[in-house]
Each structure stands twice: as structure tokens, then as C-alpha cells.
Amino acid sequence: MDGTIEFTMGLSDGIAWPWPIAVYLFFAGISGGALAVALFIRFYKQQTTNTPFLKAASLVSFATIALGMLCLVLDLTNPLFFWRILVYYNLNSVMSVGVIALTAYIPLTALMALFALEEEIKQIPLLRPLVPVIDKLKGIRRPCEYAVLALALAVCAYTGFLISALVRFPIINTSVLPALFVASGLSAGAAAAKMLAVGIFKEDLHSQDMKILHGAEWPIMFAEALFLFMIIMSLATGNAGAQSAFEAFHTGTWSMVFWLGVVGLGFGGPLLLNFATGKQFSHSSQAFYLSGLCAVGGMMCLRMFILYAGQNFAI
Amino acid sequence: MSENLERRRFLKFLGAGSLIVAPLGCSSVDEDKNSNQPHYIMVFDQNKCVGCGDCKVACNQANNLPEGKSRVMMEQQSGGVEGQVCPQCGKTSCECERKYVRVSCQQCQNAPCVTVCPTGAAHRDAKTGIVTMDKAKCAGCKYCIAACPYDARYINKETDVADNCDFCLESKLAKGELPACVQSCRYDALIFGDANDPTSYVNKLLAVKDSVRIKSHFGTQPSLRYIPIVKQGV
Ligand code: SF4
Ligand code: SF4
């Protein structure tokens, strides 16, 4: 029945989840993505040494998840209530399940960083007390790596499940969102770790690891584009609510964020830098950093777009 | 003529019935668990609401909410108020009929806020089935606010935790009284009672009146019923 009775006002005074949550989703995606890619390579190439890429990835992973947690806590109405999430559980809640995953994941990323950065830690006097701890825990490195790989992917996916449970926002409430977040987490995480590996840990731009990454990058990006396309199509051809949300892609500020940020920067940037420039430039370190920054920036725009455009188009 | 008479008699019956039944319906709050679980519902009659806002004030007082805040709002859908633009025709003075609609927690039987709350702060009261808050558990994550399809939750700035209309579960129902808004409405636009009690006034009312639920397509099974203004000729 059309026009029976409806109300359009709300009591919450606007957007429930503002930008710190988007930043948190961004950091959690990078953290999980970077570590997952590094561990994939480690298992695939059966590496036993601490490669520069592994070092970079574990450092990125730990730093970003810690920053992400900070965003999450600061976004609570009262950050001092944080302990309540850790004490009370509701297993029906995606957030609660995520908290359980994170309480295992965060210490494990710290442990990964300790293992991977052993040599560096030995050189810093302040951190030297950690060395015996690393030695003690070395025996369980392998199982920890398996566990953290599973958890890293779970964390990436969880950030998607977390928000896709919000039924009133057609852009957010899609089953493809977790997959999209895993794919974009992997690509941005790999890009971030790559830049750090070359910049700080003196990885060669054309090393073995870099070659594998380069080979994996494009398929992941393609999957990401595909998932995005799936979301857009399901909105454009969906019911009235979905179609009204489809507007987010062609009107208003958020459509700019989508086309310039997600598509232009995130997809267009790396593609142009790699294929549309001369061979000399596309193999240079400028192109390398630029395209890495594009991937990371594009992912941030994606999280912002999904969260804000999503909440703006409620049904 | 006869239809009018019937109607008069019926209304009289309803009036008398509500005096007896409504308090009974409330006292069942205190009954033991063996009895059938009540299902408290509220009916908003748009035909009777004049938009005076007394319900908001009463809610604020009954639940000790911060100044100017209450768990219910009135959305004006049409009809001019002096100095304001009519939402329907866009003019400052018009002949549109005044229409208001109550905005508040719909007391979903399948409540997304309860499902998503990570701490169980947003929960269903075991005895009454009413969706309410355990303020001591809420972490202020605002997940419930984003999840509520009715945008009917908000953060109480004084306590820093989420809040929703719970039919005055603690402030009034616990004392055997009707919710504050229902008590305060001078026009009888709000009716409250137990839908599982076949003798309750709400049951009888709903049996004879067409009522609708808001956004029922979300499948949350809201417990608020609305009797919309239906134009009968001009
Ligand atoms: S209307 Fe919103 S706050 Fe009320 S029970 Fe339903 S989901 Fe929860
Ligand atoms: S804000 Fe409070 S009541 Fe709402 S989901 Fe978070 S912890 Fe639960």
C-alpha cells in the first residue's frame, strides 16, 4: 500500500557512525591485508628467513591495528566505557564476535612483529629485554603464523560483516561487502607493506617477493572492481529503496568521492602509472611509491564512501 | 442512523472496558513467569492526535531525561502551524488537515538493536518482553543506533549511553501505571495494553479498527500500531 503511514524523522541526530569508524575500517583492512599477503608469500615460497617484506608487513599490521583500535575507542560516547565490550558478550552480535577475534589477533600481530624484527630489536638497546622473550616463543612461531593468517582474513571480512548487518542502508546491507573489504584490504595492505619494505627495509624494487606481489596485484584489483560492480548493479536493478540509494553514485559530494577517489585514484592511478607511462618511468621508484599511495588512498575513499554515502541513503 | 447508534454503544463499551481492563493489563507485569508472556503494544490514533506535544513533556519528566529531550517525537506531516511551512503543500498558511505521527521505538519483537548490541545492554526484559536498556553495560558504540531501522535510538548526553522508549518500563509500568505519554494524552490518541490478553482494550480496538505498522517490510515485527487518517469523501 502506498502512502499509508510513515515517519521520516529520527531521534539519533544524524550519522550514527562518523569518520573515525571509516578510518578504523581502513586501518583494520590494511592490517589484515598486509599480514595475510606476507604470510601467503611466506608459505608459498617456503621462506624461513625474515624477508624485508615480512618485516614491513608485520610492522604495518601491528601499527595499523593499534591505531584502528584507538579510533574505535575514541569514537565511543565515553571512551572510559571500553572495558564493557571486553567484559560483556553477545554472541549474536557481529561486533562481539569481532572483538573476540581481535583480542586474539592483536597480541598475535605483536608477536609476528617481534619474530620478524628480531635482528632490528637486537640492535636497539631499549628493546633488548625482548630478545629472551622472542627466543622462548620461537618454538610456536609456525602455529602462530597459521593462526594469524586465518585471523587476518577474518578481521578483513569482519569489518565488512560488521556494517553489512545494518539493514536500513542499501549500499551497506549487501552480502558482497565482506568480500569487497577482503579484496581491497589485501590490495591496500600489500601496497602499504611494499612501500615500507622498499623504503625502510631496503628491499630491492625488482626482487622475487616484489615480482610475486606484482603478479597478484592485478587479479586482486580485478576482483575488487568486480565486487564493486556487483554492488552497483544490484542497487541499480533492485527495489525502490535500492534504486534510490543508487543515486549516491551519480549525485552529490559522495559520488565525487566515489568516482575521483575510489575509481580514479584507487583503480585508475595504479593502472595509468604502470601501463600508460613509458617503461622507464613505470619501473622507477617514483612510480612505485605513487601507485602504492594511490592504492592506499583509494581504499580509504572506498571506506569513507561506503560508510557515509551508505548512511545518507537510508530506507 | 442505526450505524451511528451502534457506534455510540460500542464506544461506550470501549470506554468502560478501558477503565477496568487497562489497569488489569498492567498489573500482569508483576505476575509470575508461568502465565503467558505478555506482548505490550501501543496504538497511535492519528485521527485524535493534535500535535500538542504533551506526550513528549511527560516522557521527559517520567524518565528523568536531559532538558528538552524525550524518547518520542511528533512528526508533522501536513497542516499549517502559524509561522511554519506546511510540509505537504509548502505554503505558510493553508487548509491542509493537520497530521502528526508519533516517532519512537517501535518495540520490535525481532529487534535488530538487541541482536547487534555487543554487550547485551540493549536487551529484552525477561518478564515483559519489552526492549529496554541495561545502562551499566552499554559501551556507547552506537551499533544499535545504526542498526535500528526506525532511527528510534539516541545517545543520552547525560549518561553517555544509548536509550530508547521502553514503555516507561521502570518509571511507570513497575508501579502498575500506564506509560507517561499515554497518561498525559488529553485526546486519547495513545492506547496501551497487552495484545496477548484477549480481554484487553487494545485487542478489542484492533479488532474493529484498521491499523498499520511502520516499515513492516523490515521484518522486525514492530509492536506499535498506527491508525491513519483515512479521508472519507470531501
Ligand atoms: S524500533 Fe529500533 S530501538 Fe526499538 S526495538 Fe526496534 S530496532 Fe530496537
Ligand atoms: S551503544 Fe550501547 S546499547 Fe547500543 S549497541 Fe552499543 S553497547 Fe549496545
B188 in a structural domain: yes
pLDDT value, residue B83: 67
Domain that holds residue B183: 3-227
Give the residue from B167, B169, B159 showing the smallest Cα distance to B223. Answer: B167
pLDDT single digits (tens) B85-122: 777 777 777 777 778 999 999 999 999 999 999 999 99
Interaxial angle between packed helices A285-312 and A141-164, expressed in degrees from 0 to 180 and rounded to the nearest 10 = 40
Q: What nine digits make up the cell of B199?
A: 480481554
Which pTM does this prediction carry?
0.86
The protein residue with its alpha carbon nearest to ligand 1, atom 4, reads: B105
ipTM value, please give it.
0.90
Please tell me if residue A3 touches chain B, with a CB cutoff of 8 Å. Answer: no
pLDDT single digits (tens) A280-300: 888 888 888 999 999 999 999
pLDDT value, residue B20: 46
Q: What nine digits make up the cell of B164?
A: 530508547
Among the bound ligands, name the one nearest to the CA of residue B114.
1
Name the strand (E) or helix (H) holding B63: none
pLDDT value, residue A275: 84
pLDDT single digits (tens) B189-230: 999 999 999 999 999 999 999 899 999 889 999 999 999 987
Residues in chain A, overall count: 315
Contacts 24+ apart (CB under 8 A), A215-221: A216/A37, A216/A190, A217/A187, A217/A190, A217/A191, A217/A270, A220/A183, A220/A186, A220/A187, A220/A190, A221/A183, A221/A187, A221/A267, A221/A270
**Structurally, how many domains does chain B consist of?**
1
Radius of gyration of chain A from its Cα atoms, rounded to whole angstroms:
21
Identify whether the C-beta of residue A34 lies closer than 8 Å to the C-beta of residue A184: no
The rounded Å distance from CA A68 to ligand 2 centre is 19
A281's CB contacts (< 8 A; 6+ apart) are A287
- Indicate the domain borders of chain A: 19-312
Interaxial angle between packed helices B201-208 and B2-27, expressed in degrees from 0 to 180 and rounded to the nearest 10 = 150
pLDDT band at A168; cut points 50, 70, 90: very high
pLDDT single digits (tens) A229-261: 999 999 999 998 899 999 999 998 999 999 999
Give the residue from A312, A93, A21, A14 showing the smallest Cα distance to B151. Answer: A14
Query: Residues of chain B with pLDDT > 90: what percent?
Result: 64
- Of B139, B145, B226, nearest to A82 by CB-CB distance is B139
Shortest CA gap A34–chain B (Å)? 27
Partner-chain contact A16 B212, CB within 8 Å: no
B154 in a structural domain: yes
CA–CA separation, A41 and A213 (whole Å): 9
Q: Which residue has the higher pLDDT, A280 or A59?
A: A59
Partner-chain contact B103 A11, CB within 8 Å: yes
Q: Which residues of A touch B141 (CB under 8 A)?
A: 75-76, 85, 95
Q: What nine digits make up the cell of A184?
A: 581491497
CB atoms within 10 A of CB B225: 23
CATH code for the structural domain at A19-312: 1.20.1630.10
pLDDT value, residue B30: 44
pLDDT tops 70 at residue A219 = yes
Report the CATH number that the domain containing residue B168 is assigned in CATH: 3.30.70.20
Identify whether the C-beta of residue B189 lies closer than 8 Å to the C-beta of residue B52: no
How confident is the model over A32-47, as a mean pLDDT?
94
pLDDT value, residue B55: 94
Identify whether the C-beta of residue B38 lies closer than 8 Å to the C-beta of residue B196: yes
B234 in a structural domain: no
pLDDT tops 50 at residue B28 = no
B62 in a structural domain: yes
Q: Which residues of B touch A8 (CB under 8 A)?
A: 75
Query: Residues of chain A with pLDDT > 90: what percent?
Result: 73
